[in-house]
Amino acid sequence: MEWINKRVLVIGAGLSGQAAVRKLQSLGAEVFLTDSKRIEQLVGVEELGLDLEHLFLGSVPELGEIKPDLIVLSPGVSPKISLVQEAISQNVTMWSEVELAMHDCPALCVGVTGTNGKTTSTTLIGELAKRTGHPTVVAGNIGVALSGQVKDLGEDSIVVAELSSFQLEFVDKLRVQVAILLNITPDHLDRHGTLEEYFKVKARIFENQTANDLAILNWDDPLVRDLGPKLRSRVMYFSPTFFLQDGISLWQDHIVYAEKEKSMIPIISRKDLHLRGAHNLENVMAAAGAARAFGLAWTEIAEGLRQFKGVEHRQEIVGTYQEILFVNDSKGTNTDAATKALLAFEEPLVLIAGGKNKGLDFHEFMKVVRLKVKSLVLLGSAADEMEQAAREEGVQTIIRASTFEDGVEKAIAEAIPGDVVLLSPACTSWDMFKSYEERGELFKELVRRHYRKPI
């Protein structure tokens, strides 16, 4: 695309929006920026150097006033807002920030999506990619805007991108040469409406793949598995529960790769992994498939897997205090993620849950809570809804907390030596915090502060 004299409206002035503005400015486009927040509520906007005629903060611009050739939508902005709907009705081209980022980037793109496990898989793939010696960028929904990371990357570079459903809504020409779909469970239904629509958006990661590209799919998820025959690209399946004669799976407690009519290759023993829980086998297998696609030998992949210790806020060990293990799973922002966290532990659990619901039903989750959790501490705006579901499913010990700090103290009071205190909220953090990271950091600080107190 020729960018000189192109008028581009960026909607959303957060990290992704600001990164998009900087890239568009470097390309020579005339850039406009809008956000529902006022400038004093935003950090970093003044450094973009946009004049008042190009800034619409705390107000909605008239589309006819700007006459944009292109709109770049930040992932946190709903496409249902009137400005976006008006633009769609007028056939204005709409891109996501990741579309803009990769538009002119010649690097190999590895994209990871799914409901759960994206961050762990993306981080692990990034660590494996660095072992190739090629310049590697890890960005996207993981917390680093892609547009700000891809400048000057060449054909020998690797981009590993975590891609959320929000980032995939407006795929145009984005080609993901190695695309991974980990799993699909209900999430973000407040934005997408139905599971079918949510899945449809996730599947757009494969939209521009060719026969030379690779799709890595979870055999154990029927929705994901059935997508395979419909794709143009090569398909590699993985499964932690079934032995696959063609793909990556588990055989006698070893992760192995098998190919039709060829001998099976052992990759790594399950006991050599630091990651805990059956769900993490999915992440490891998907990462191993991606690493093989960009050229690592199986021995190099095994060494990378052996050294990987996980990511912050995803079943992160905070520490053991007075023989009580504290685990920060603040990134468990939906019921499926929180369920997997519960199933990763055999010890008695004190669970801290709650926050802002995303349109999810809590009853199936509470069935697992009843079996796995000895004390449930509830907080946040979803606490009433969660308590009702918990009582209906027979959860015995339910404790309400007025604040997050109160919830952590009550959880500590409930725990005895041998227990695990687990923060896995099954909700977003947005009712009490700016992000799940902020929530997780406070949890860690509160735990450490409690045990620094004199007894």
Q: H-type helices in 164-258, by residue range?
A: 165-168, 189-192, 195-202, 222-225
Judge whether residue 353 has pLDDT over 60: yes
> Given this model, what pLDDT does residue 143 score?
82
Judge whether residue 455 has pLDDT over 70: no
For residue 35, the domain's CATH number is 3.40.50.720
d(CA 416, CA 155): 55
Range of the domain at 141: 101-307
**Using 50, 70 and 90 to split pLDDT, how confident is the model at 276?**
confident
User: For residue 1, is it within any domain?
Assistant: no
User: For residue 208, is it within any domain?
Assistant: yes
Judge whether residue 432 has pLDDT over 90: yes
Q: Are residues 168 and 298 in the same domain?
A: yes
In what side-by-side order are the strands of the sheet with 324-328?
316-321, 324-328, 420-423, 349-353, 373-378, 398-400
Q: Are residues 158 and 78 in the same domain?
A: no
Q: Are residues 14 and 87 in the same domain?
A: yes
- Asked whether the CA dihedral 205, 206, 212, 218 is positive or negative, the reply is positive
Closest C-alpha to 448, from 314, 323, 310, 326: 326
- Average the pLDDT over 27-48 and give the result: 94
Q: Are residues 192 and 331 in the same domain?
A: no
- Average the pLDDT over 359-386 and give the result: 97
Judge whether residue 439 has pLDDT over 90: yes
Q: Between 363 and 187, whose confidence is greater?
A: 363
**Is residue 348 helix, strand or coil?**
coil
d(CA 439, CA 318): 13
> Given this model, what pLDDT does residue 236 score?
98
C-beta of residue 78 within 8 angstroms of C-beta of residue 16: no
> Given this model, what pLDDT does residue 263 score?
85
C-beta of residue 215 within 8 angstroms of C-beta of residue 209: yes
Residue 31 identity: V
Q: Are residues 68 and 123 in the same domain?
A: no
User: For residue 365, is it within any domain?
Assistant: yes
Q: Last residue of a domain, which of 27, 58, 91? A: 91
> Given this model, what pLDDT does residue 279 score?
81
User: For residue 96, is it within any domain?
Assistant: no
| Prediction pTM value | 0.79
Token pair 């993306």 in the structure block, residue: 122
- Average the pLDDT over 129-157 and give the result: 93
| 234-248: pLDDT as tens digits | 999 999 999 999 999
User: For residue 2, is it within any domain?
Assistant: no
What six digits make up the tokens of 390?
A: 């918990």
| 383-399: pLDDT as tens digits | 999 999 999 999 999 99
| 172-209: pLDDT as tens digits | 999 999 999 999 987 776 777 798 899 999 999 999 99
User: For residue 82, is it within any domain?
Assistant: yes
d(CA 205, CA 179): 7
Q: Last residue of a domain, which of 69, 91, 113? A: 91
Q: Are residues 438 and 323 in the same domain?
A: yes
- The b-or-e profile of 206-236 (16+ CB within 10 A means b, else e) is bbbbeeebbbbbbbbbebbbebbeebebebb
Judge whether residue 454 has pLDDT over 70: no
Listed in sequence order, the residues at least 6 apart from 88 whose beta carbon sits closer than 8 Å to its beta carbon are: 79, 94
Provide the number of structural domains found in the chain.
Answer: 3
User: For residue 69, is it within any domain?
Assistant: yes
> Other C-beta atoms within 10 Å of 382: how many?
23
What six digits make up the tokens of 146?
A: 């892609």
Percent of the chain with pLDDT over 70: 99
Q: Last residue of a domain, which of 307, 330, 346? A: 307
User: For residue 155, is it within any domain?
Assistant: yes
Judge whether residue 453 has pLDDT over 90: no
Q: Are residues 73 and 134 in the same domain?
A: no
Q: Are residues 148 and 263 in the same domain?
A: yes
- The b-or-e profile of 157-181 (16+ CB within 10 A means b, else e) is bbbbbbbbbbbbbbbeebebbbbbb
| 391-430: pLDDT as tens digits | 999 999 999 999 999 999 999 999 999 999 999 999 999 9
For residue 411, the domain's CATH number is 3.90.190.20
- The b-or-e profile of 245-266 (16+ CB within 10 A means b, else e) is eebbbbeeeebbbbeeeeeeee
Q: Are residues 182 and 270 in the same domain?
A: yes
Taking all residues of the chain, what is their mean pLDDT, rounded to a whole number? 94
Q: Are residues 229 and 352 in the same domain?
A: no
C-beta of residue 383 within 8 angstroms of C-beta of residue 287: no
Q: Are residues 21 and 105 in the same domain?
A: no
For residue 119, the domain's CATH number is 3.40.1190.10
- Average the pLDDT over 92-104 and give the result: 94
Q: Are residues 130 and 222 in the same domain?
A: yes
